[in-house]
Structure 1
Amino acid sequence: MNRISVDIGGTFTDCFFVWDDAYVEAKALTTHHNLALGFNEALDIACRRAGLDRTEVLSKVDSVRYATTLGTNALIERHGPRVAALVTHGFEDTIPLSRGRGYGEGLDPAMQQNLPAAERPEPLVPRHLIRSVRERVNSAGEIVVPLDELDVRQQVRELVDNGAEALVVSLTNATENPEHELRILEIILDEYPPHELGAIPVLLGHQVSGRKGEYVRATSTIVDAFLHEIMFHALGQLANNLRDSGYDKPMLVIHNSGGMAQMNSTDALQTIHSGPIAGVGAAQHLSRETGIGHIIATDMGGTSFDIGLVPEGGVKHYDFQPTIDRWLVSVPMVHLLTLGAGGGSIASYDRIHKGIKIGPESAGSDPGPACYDRGGLRPTVTDADLLLGYLDPENYANGFIALNPKRSIFAIEEMLCDELDMDVLDVAKEIKRGVDEQMAIGIGKELRVRGYLPEDFTMLAYGGNGPLHACGIAERAGIRRILVPPFASVFSACGAGNMQPLHIHEQGAHVVLYNATNRSLYDRYDEFNVIVEGLEAKGREDLVRQGYDEADVRHRLEMDMRYGNQLVTTAVVFDVNRIHRVGDVLHLIRTFSEIYGERYGKGSEAPEAGVRVQTIRVASYVEGDTVKFESLDHVGERTTPAPVSAREAHFIGRAAPLLTPVYDASALSEQYVIAGPAIVTTENTTYLVEPGWRLEPTPQGAVWFLRDDTDPAKEQ
């Protein structure tokens, strides 16, 4: 297996390089003006470590895979084209009204309840760029009012004349009958042929989302259109760079559904959060191979802190109507909670609470934290870590970046010391305490709202800053076991290398498996199977078009189900794809009840209220080779290695600094144990063992952080 996997983050570009049986990791600063430059630098570092030439590698690898947060950042910064929308006559205000809840989507519960201060987000489609066309299709897919084609031409002309740079067509009930949307596309291409219209994209709602619901389907398509241009040019730039370097295969892009596809089979919307979700995929793979039980996956990079949940058995949680930024969309996406807290997060003074606020604004890679000495003037989490003694100024990022403590002192003194009436080190401690508490609160909420207890979970800490803050976060979250996985600093890039080619197609449906009113079971088997077969055909077509053998395509049936008139639906994965008899229907009901009971507690199942299906979904995929994770077990005695040096470090709850031994990467061998306080500095990250914790390495580079009263032999 020869494979290159890349995760382009807001601060660093991570590269995970597999060449036969060798695994190589490398990092470089993200070059936002041209992502290809950062990729080339990271790959050059990996190739040098492997003793290979970049051109030779790119001519021989079987695939290059990209995960990126580019779309996420573009949406947050509102960098995109002027999007216009065509809707059914009478539905012109559906998008602006946003179900009457637009002020709250994407905000935390406290902000959602603050009605006097509620503000709707700046619309991606201004009201004057929303036009309606005369047509109507009913909920059964029957055409009630034929499409007025002259009206369509008039509305499209006016939108283009008003500066529209992307067109969205989202008509009522188009998922039941897309005839009018398809005809509008033909009219647009006839009215403005591609050679005249240029690169302006035209997106159809029913092709972006197959589920019912005019508003969420429209917002999904609008977000997709808003990101289309920037993703097209950025990914095109990366693809051209690969071709210029001798790579002649299609470039693969990681999707937020947990799969990947070629660039020509990727919607911009599918790239949102793809980097962190690749890390959740790697956590799922690690869980399956090692059997370590419940995992809370945490990725602390330079810009954000991402939390993913992988319960025992390696099954990820999905959001089927996730909120992206401030917009509710209807695309299947692996569940992820993102906090604006990373190594580059800026610490500022909160005048209301008279304390320190961490993030969400980040210094990024340019100019970066003040200590990078590249023009940054505001204090960050990394500046605090440096002054507290955790980071080595001469050996940060393998010496790639020399840190300047004087800049950190200046930034903290200028921005925070006078406001807080504290000295520099006390402020640095407050920054460390604040960021750890912020992330611990996020973990606690994520687990408890789903019915889990933090003490039942192993915290997976990865990303460039994961091992540095892991002990502080876990201490406050009530977690007693931390695992820093193999390839921790580039774990999301490693996950991208494990992704399977996958496409998810879905269709809104109203299937009553058990009708409580007349006590009857569903018996329209052929109708159900036709829907599943159609969704399988779409997935198979996607994969065959990308060059995969039809015989290798596999399908997985999933459905959104609920009891009676419950508002909450539960996504259920099944081990059968067809129903032919009563026993098959009962099997679907039984599977749903088992999953419902596991999630909400045994005895909460209520099949007597009726069992309904809201959405039928088929995941089509092709299995492939994956990175192998070795056992986490260790047999034999452990000894303490000799430190290479020592320095004073400051810890929360300790008034005086502690003389802390410092180790290099050779200490991360499975025969060693290191008691805190201690610091282990490696090429790509720093391991901080806080007082009360100990560090125990395992084979392949994974590392346990354990409370001193924890017996790993009992808990593994």
Structure 2
Amino acid sequence: MKRVSVDIGGTFTDCFVAWGQRCVEGKALTTHQNLALGFNESLADACRQLELTPAELLADVDSVRYATTLGTNALIERKGPRVGLLVTTGFKHTVPLSRARGYGEGLTEPEQMDIPNARRPEPIVPMTMIREVRERVDYLGQAFWPLDEDDVRLRIRELVDGGAQALVVMFTNSVVNPAHELRVREIFLEEYPAHLLGAIPMVLSHQVAGRKGEYARGTSAIMDAFLHQTMFHGLGTLELNLRAQGYHKPMLVNHNSGGMAQLNSTDALQTVHSGPVSGIAASECLAAHAALGNVVATDMGGTSFDIGVVVQGGLKYYDFNPVIDRWLVSVPMVHLVTLGAGGGSIARYERMFKTIEIGPQSAGSDPGPACYDRGGMKPTVTDADLLLGYLDPKNYANGRIPLNVRRARQAMEEHLCEQLDMDLVEAAKLIKRQVDASMANGISTELRTLGYEPKDFTILAYGGNGPLHACGIAEALGVTKILAPPYSSTFSACGAGNVNQMHIHEMSTWTVLFNPATRSFFTDYEAFNRGVEELERRGREDLIRQGMNDGQIRYRLELDMRYGNQRVQTAVVTALSRLRCQRDVLALMDQFHERYGERFGEGSQSPETGVRINTLRVCAYVEQPTVQFANLQIAGTPLPPPDPVGHRECHFVGHEGAVKTPVYDDGARTEGVEIDGPAIVTTRATTFLVEPGWSYRAVAQGAVWFIRK
């Protein structure tokens, strides 16, 4: 296997190269103005370790895969085209009203508790860019008001004259019968051929989201259209960069569904949060290969701290109606919780409680933390880590980013020390304690919300800053063991190469498996099977178009089910691909009953109210080879640590004064080496901090356990 996988984050661009039996990591600052520059530098870093030129590597590599935050950044900065929206007559206010939830969605918990002071997000599509079209399809898909084509031409002309650079069509019940949306696109191309308008994109809502629910489907299509131009040019630039270096195979893009596809088969909306989701994919592989059981994936990078959960058996949690930025959308996305607690997160004085608040604002890579000496003026978590002695100013990021201690001290004194009436070290300790507690609280809240206890999980600490804060997170969380996995600093990039080529298609349905009013079971097996076959056909066509063979394709059927008219839906993955008899219906109900009990507690089921399927979902995929992980359990007699390469004066939370701390290099990552804290292990890619009262134990593939003594 020869593969390049890339995670383009808000601060760093990570490159992971699997080259036969060798795996190497590359790292560079993200160049937001041109992502290809950061990729080239990161790839060159990996190539130097393999003693190859980038051209030699790309000429012989099997695939190049990207996970990127480009779409996330575009939403944050509101950089995108002017979008126009066509809706069914009478539904002009569906998106602006936002189901009366627009004030709260996408806000932090404290902000949601202060709704009177909350503000709606600035709309991507203002009211002046929404036009109603005379047409109507009912819930069964029957057109009882034919599409008025003259009206369509007039409304499109009004939007184009109003400056629309992208168009969205969102008609009522188009997921049941998309004929009217498809005809609008034909009319648009008749009126405005591509050579006249430079190929203004038109997004049809039924092709972005297959479920009913006009608002969520509309926002999904709007966000896809808004991101289309940014993703087209950003990823297009990356593809041209690969072509210029001799790589002529299709470029692959990771999706937030946990799969990947070629660039020409990727919707812009599918790329949002694809980087952190790739880390969860790597965690899933690691848990399976290394027999870790339940794991919590925690990625502390330069911009954010991302949390994902994978329970034993490979079950991932999905959000089927996630909130992206401030909008509810209708796309299946691997469940992810993001906190503003990265290395670049800015620390500021909180006047009301006279303490420090960290994030969500981040210094990113440009200008970066104050210590990067690139123009950043505000103190960050990385500045605090430097002032506490944890980072080597001359050997950060393998020496590529020299750190300026004076700049970090100046930012801390100017913005925090005076307001807090603390000295420099105490202010830095407060930042360390606050950020560790914030991350621990995020993990605890996420697990307990899902009905789990942290002690039943292996916590993975990865990302550029994960091993640096692992002991602090574990201490605040009250757990005694935490694992920094193999390739921890580029673990999400590793995961970008460990996902399958996959497409998910879904369809709303009204399938009553058990009707309590008539005491009858579902019998229209043919209608159910037709729906599944249609979704399989769409997935199969997607994959065959990308060069996959029909015989390679596998399918997984998922159903969103509920009791009676409950609002809560539970996703059930079933081995049944078709319903053929009542026995299959009963087996499906039993599986739902069991899954519901696992989620909400045994005895909470209520089959007497009826059992219903609301959504059919088919995942079509082709399995890909993955990086193999070794058994990471601690075994054998520990080895003594090598001689330290130096010592540094470090300050630790809960300990007075400076502590003379030994510093080790890559030699300390030999399997079996055990080191008692305090200690620092500095490698070319990251820093492992062993705090007092903890021990460090290196295991296979460079992974490290932190254990409370």
Structure 1 residue 636 displacement after superposition: 2.1
User: Is the CA contact 1:458–1:480 (under 8 Å) kept in the aligned structure 2?
Assistant: no
User: Is the CA contact 1:92–1:132 (under 8 Å) kept in the aligned structure 2?
Assistant: yes
**Structure 2: distance between partners of 1:211 and 1:369:** 43
**Structure 2: distance between partners of 1:689 and 1:93:** 56
The residue identity in structure 1 corresponding to 2:138 is N
Q: Deviations over 1:501-528 (max 9, x none)?
A: 0000000011111112222111111100
Structure 1 residue 459 displacement after superposition: 0.8
- Residue 684 (structure 2) aligns with: 683
Superposed counterparts of 1:258-337, under 5 Å? 258-337=258-337
The residue identity in structure 2 corresponding to 1:352 is M
**Structure 1: distance between partners of 2:639 and 2:701:** 18
User: Is the CA contact 2:291–2:631 (under 8 Å) kept in the aligned structure 1?
Assistant: no
- Residue 359 (structure 2) aligns with: 359
The residue identity in structure 2 corresponding to 1:447 is L
Mapped pair 1:17 → 2:17: yes
Q: Does 106-115 or 578-587 show the bigger shift?
A: 106-115
TM-score, normalising length from structure 1?
0.98
Structure 1 residue 20 displacement after superposition: 1.0
User: Is the CA contact 1:634–1:670 (under 8 Å) kept in the aligned structure 2?
Assistant: no
Structure 1 residue 480 displacement after superposition: 2.3
Superposed counterparts of 1:311-710, under 5 Å? 311-641=311-641, 642-708=643-709
**Structure 1: distance between partners of 2:22 and 2:87:** 54
CA RMSD of aligned residues (A): 1.0
**Structure 2: distance between partners of 1:536 and 1:690:** 52
**Structure 2: distance between partners of 1:190 and 1:69:** 36
Q: Deviations over 1:120-179 (max 9, x none)?
A: 100000010011000000001000101111111111111111111110000000011111
Q: Does 134-143 or 343-352 show the bigger shift?
A: 343-352
Structure 1 residue 634 displacement after superposition: 4.0
The residue identity in structure 1 corresponding to 2:673 is Y
The residue identity in structure 1 corresponding to 2:337 is L
- Residue 220 (structure 1) aligns with: 220
Q: Does 442-451 or 638-647 show the bigger shift?
A: 638-647
Q: Does 513-522 or 195-204 show the bigger shift?
A: 513-522
**Structure 1: distance between partners of 2:407 and 2:110:** 36
Q: Does 516-525 or 8-17 show the bigger shift?
A: 516-525
Structure 1 residue 203 displacement after superposition: 0.1
Q: Does 256-265 or 569-578 show the bigger shift?
A: 569-578
The residue identity in structure 1 corresponding to 2:223 is V
Superposed counterparts of 1:69-148, under 5 Å? 69-148=69-148
Corresponding residue SS for 2:293: coil
User: Is the CA contact 2:512–2:522 (under 8 Å) kept in the aligned structure 1?
Assistant: yes
**Structure 2: distance between partners of 1:113 and 1:399:** 45
**Structure 2: distance between partners of 1:280 and 1:619:** 18
The residue identity in structure 2 corresponding to 1:639 is L
Corresponding residue SS for 1:626: coil
User: Is the CA contact 1:259–1:502 (under 8 Å) kept in the aligned structure 2?
Assistant: yes
**Structure 2: distance between partners of 1:293 and 1:597:** 21
User: Is the CA contact 2:102–2:120 (under 8 Å) kept in the aligned structure 1?
Assistant: yes
**Structure 2: distance between partners of 1:21 and 1:610:** 54
Structure 1 residue 604 displacement after superposition: 2.1
Point out where structure 2 has 5 or more consecutive residues left out of the alignment: none
**Structure 1: distance between partners of 2:696 and 2:19:** 30
Structure 1 residue 610 displacement after superposition: 1.4
The residue identity in structure 1 corresponding to 2:703 is A
User: Is the CA contact 1:371–1:404 (under 8 Å) kept in the aligned structure 2?
Assistant: yes
Q: Deviations over 1:165-206 (max 9, x none)?
A: 110000000011111101110111111101111132100000
Structure 1 residue 603 displacement after superposition: 2.2
**Structure 1: distance between partners of 2:597 and 2:684:** 46
**Structure 1: distance between partners of 2:434 and 2:635:** 39
**Structure 2: distance between partners of 1:623 and 1:194:** 37
The residue identity in structure 1 corresponding to 2:251 is M
Change (3 A) 1:180 1:26: same
Structure 1 residue 382 displacement after superposition: 0.4
- Residue 247 (structure 1) aligns with: 247
The residue identity in structure 1 corresponding to 2:701 is Q
Q: Does 432-441 or 302-311 show the bigger shift?
A: 432-441
Q: Deviations over 1:298-347 (max 9, x none)?
A: 00000000000111222110000000000000000000001111001111
Corresponding residue SS for 2:647: strand
Structure 1 residue 454 displacement after superposition: 1.3
**Structure 1: distance between partners of 2:565 and 2:255:** 33
Identity among equivalent pairs (%): 63
The residue identity in structure 1 corresponding to 2:80 is G
**Structure 1: distance between partners of 2:306 and 2:112:** 22
- Residue 170 (structure 1) aligns with: 170
Q: Deviations over 1:628-681 (max 9, x none)?
A: 001113432113313222211111111222111111111112221111111110
**Structure 2: distance between partners of 1:448 and 1:355:** 27
User: Is the CA contact 1:506–1:615 (under 8 Å) kept in the aligned structure 2?
Assistant: yes
Structure 1 residue 373 displacement after superposition: 1.2
**Structure 1: distance between partners of 2:581 and 2:413:** 74
Structure 1 residue 214 displacement after superposition: 0.5
Structure 1 residue 40 displacement after superposition: 0.7
**Structure 2: distance between partners of 1:328 and 1:184:** 25
Change (3 A) 1:420 1:509: same
User: Is the CA contact 1:457–1:481 (under 8 Å) kept in the aligned structure 2?
Assistant: no
Q: Deviations over 1:380-417 (max 9, x none)?
A: 10000000011011111111111111110001111111
Q: Deviations over 1:27-52 (max 9, x none)?
A: 01111111111111111111110111
Structure 1 residue 600 displacement after superposition: 1.8
Corresponding residue SS for 2:107: coil
- Residue 711 (structure 1) aligns with: none
Point out where structure 1 has 5 or more consecutive residues left out of the alignment: 709-716
Structure 1 residue 707 displacement after superposition: 1.4
Q: Deviations over 1:423-473 (max 9, x none)?
A: 111111111111111111111111111111112111101000000011111
User: Is the CA contact 2:289–2:629 (under 8 Å) kept in the aligned structure 1?
Assistant: yes
User: Is the CA contact 1:483–1:704 (under 8 Å) kept in the aligned structure 2?
Assistant: yes
User: Is the CA contact 2:341–2:359 (under 8 Å) kept in the aligned structure 1?
Assistant: yes
**Structure 2: distance between partners of 1:456 and 1:487:** 24
Structure 1 residue 88 displacement after superposition: 0.3
Corresponding residue SS for 1:618: strand
**Structure 2: distance between partners of 1:629 and 1:603:** 39
User: Is the CA contact 1:291–1:313 (under 8 Å) kept in the aligned structure 2?
Assistant: no
Corresponding residue SS for 2:26: strand
**Structure 2: distance between partners of 1:389 and 1:671:** 26
Structure 1 residue 367 displacement after superposition: 1.3
User: Is the CA contact 2:560–2:569 (under 8 Å) kept in the aligned structure 1?
Assistant: yes
**Structure 2: distance between partners of 1:695 and 1:280:** 24
Corresponding residue SS for 1:38: helix
The residue identity in structure 1 corresponding to 2:664 is Y
**Structure 1: distance between partners of 2:294 and 2:98:** 37
User: Is the CA contact 1:561–1:572 (under 8 Å) kept in the aligned structure 2?
Assistant: yes
- Residue 5 (structure 2) aligns with: 5
**Structure 2: distance between partners of 1:115 and 1:7:** 36
Corresponding residue SS for 1:498: coil
